[in-house]
Amino acid sequence: MKKKSNATISNKHTLFSFCLIVLVYSSLGGIALLTDNASLATLAPLSIGIALGLGILIVDQLFLSQYYLESGETQLITRSVIFLLILIPLSIFVLTSSGSLVGMGMMIGLQVGLTAEMLQLRKQPDAFARRFLQHVHHQYSNQEIKLIIFAAVVVVILTHLFVFL
């Protein structure tokens, strides 16, 4: 039996983290409903979108990657530099032009899920680079990784401000 390295995120750890994220958002939605600050018609599609966004990351890691990864490759499409960079303008488009609460939730789910994974690997520069920056040939310092994570957190905060204000 192969032993997994501690420098990567296990499937169980990813699922646990994403379930925790859904639980937190569900709790916040429940509080908003109880205090009459939101309606079920607003929170239900947003919650479905968040779950779908997180689900995309999970399905890619557990199932889809086996169809597109060649032997020896480990880079997931949803964790590639191109995907991360395209996610920002895509989120802006969905938030400003689509009017879809499910789409907005999906962008939040993708962003929060990816940022949670980044935060889990923040103290492991090599694992972080393998997970998110595999095709960029540069040795990353802890300071550079903190800056990348800071930028990701800022994007998540701005997205939340846009959706919830």
pLDDT tens string, the chain, 165 residues long: the values are 444 443 456 666 677 777 777 777 766 766 665 666 667 777 788 888 988 999 999 888 888 877 787 776 777 888 888 999 999 999 999 988 888 889 998 999 999 999 989 988 888 888 888 888 888 888 888 899 999 999 999 998 888 888 777
**Does residue 1 lie within any of the structural domains?**
no
**Does residue 2 lie within any of the structural domains?**
no
Q: How many domains does the chain have?
A: 1
Q: Exposed, middle or buried: residue 21 (CB in 10 Å: 0-12, 13-18, 19+)?
A: buried
Cβ proximity of 42 and 101 under 8 Å: yes
| 3-class SS string, 78-114 | HHCHHHHHHHHHHHHHHHHHHCCHHHHHHHHHHHHHH
**Does residue 80 lie within any of the structural domains?**
yes
**Does residue 113 lie within any of the structural domains?**
yes
DSSP letter, residue 58: H
**Does residue 55 lie within any of the structural domains?**
yes
Q: 50, 44, 59, 156: which is closest to 109 by C-alpha?
A: 50
**Does residue 6 lie within any of the structural domains?**
no
**Does residue 32 lie within any of the structural domains?**
yes
Does this model's pTM top 0.85? My answer is no
CB within 8 Å of 68: residues ≥ 6 apart: 77
Give the structural domain span for 123.
12-164
Q: Exposed, middle or buried: residue 104 (CB in 10 Å: 0-12, 13-18, 19+)?
A: buried
**Does residue 24 lie within any of the structural domains?**
yes
**Alpha-helical segments (H) within 11-100:** 11-34, 40-59, 65-68, 81-93
